[in-house]
Amino acid sequence: MRVIAIKNIARKNVPIYYRMLYTGVAEMELVNKTEEHVIEFSIEIKPTGDKEIVISYKSDIQYPLLPVTKALKATIGAMHSDGELPD
């Protein structure tokens, strides 16, 4: 299982400045086949500076969600740190 890319990322308007809400399409390799799933995720910056990433899936994934969520959180965290997410 690996995340290939997160495409078509769009930021939703949220009135709270330390919380960002996005939608996108996660392209993942699951059991030797590539699948695309619509996801919605939020990044909240805590007062300590830590990032809390929450992911919700808009389609059913036929794979254990724990490794998928862990890989997506790592990818999203890296994209946020590198400035690759839309403002």
CB neighbours (10 Å) of residue 15?
Answer: 5
In a domain, 27, yes or no: yes
Say how far apart CA 66 and CA 69 lie, in whole Å. Answer: 5
Sheet of 19-30, strand order: 2-12, 19-30, 33-45, 51-57
Q: Taking the model in full, what pTM does it have?
A: 0.92
Q: Model confidence over 23-59: pLDDT tens digits?
A: 999 999 998 899 999 999 999 999 998 999 999 999 8
Q: Model confidence over 1-24: pLDDT tens digits?
A: 899 999 999 999 999 989 999 999
- Phi (first) and psi of residue 71, to 5 degrees: -65, -40
What is the domain extent for residue 76?
A: 2-81
Supply the CATH number for residue 63's domain.
Answer: 3.10.450
In a domain, 86, yes or no: no
In a domain, 55, yes or no: yes
Number of domain units in the chain = 1
pLDDT at 87: 82
